[in-house]
Amino acid sequence: MTDEMRERLVRSMAQRVVAACSPLPVAVVCDDPEVAEWAAALGASVMWEPGQGLNGAVGAGVEQLAAAGVRWVTVAHGDLPRARGLGALAPCPGITLVPDRKDDGTNVLRLPVDCGFNFAYGPGSFRSHRAEASRLGLPVRVLRIPALAYDVDWPADLDELST
């Protein structure tokens, strides 16, 4: 895949995730000027968090939203090519987790901003996020939604996408 093809794919997936959040407002946490410009052009709020890594950036974004008066957030990453219905996830007390199709990663996570949650994205994040919710004494709801369970982490995931 050429750099241009990869960029088109990434933008297409991320744009689909943003659209799937409707009717909720969207905030994009990033440390890249092009991503910030792209997000702003889509009407998303941009939260600039340079040099934090994924977990630090998500945590900082949640803190910024809490400071702005937001009570609940839904965290979704931009590599969900089949995303839909993010803005329609029914509320529940505690933490909502949508694992990837391998029950390894966490593709979507909904939580109250004031719960002190420590994010642990990366290999095994689904298990880690369940353990974190337990540590905090929060109930966990696991939703297995095929459109949200499909993410693109490896080139082989693209082969499956085309089927």
pLDDT in tens, the chain (163 residues): 788 988 899 999 999 999 999 999 999 999 999 999 999 999 999 999 998 899 999 999 999 999 999 999 999 999 999 999 999 998 899 999 999 999 999 999 999 999 999 999 999 999 999 999 999 999 999 999 999 999 988 777 777 766 5
Give the integer Cα–Cα distance in Å for 158 and 100.
15
Which pLDDT value is given to residue 162? Answer: 65
C-beta separation of 73 from 96 below 8 A: no
* Alpha helices (H) along the chain: 3-20, 33-41, 53-67, 125-135, 146-149, 155-161
Give the integer Cα–Cα distance in Å for 138 and 145.
21
Residue with tokens 């490896």: 154
Which pLDDT value is given to residue 30? Answer: 93
Give the integer Cα–Cα distance in Å for 134 and 156.
33
Which pLDDT value is given to residue 60? Answer: 96
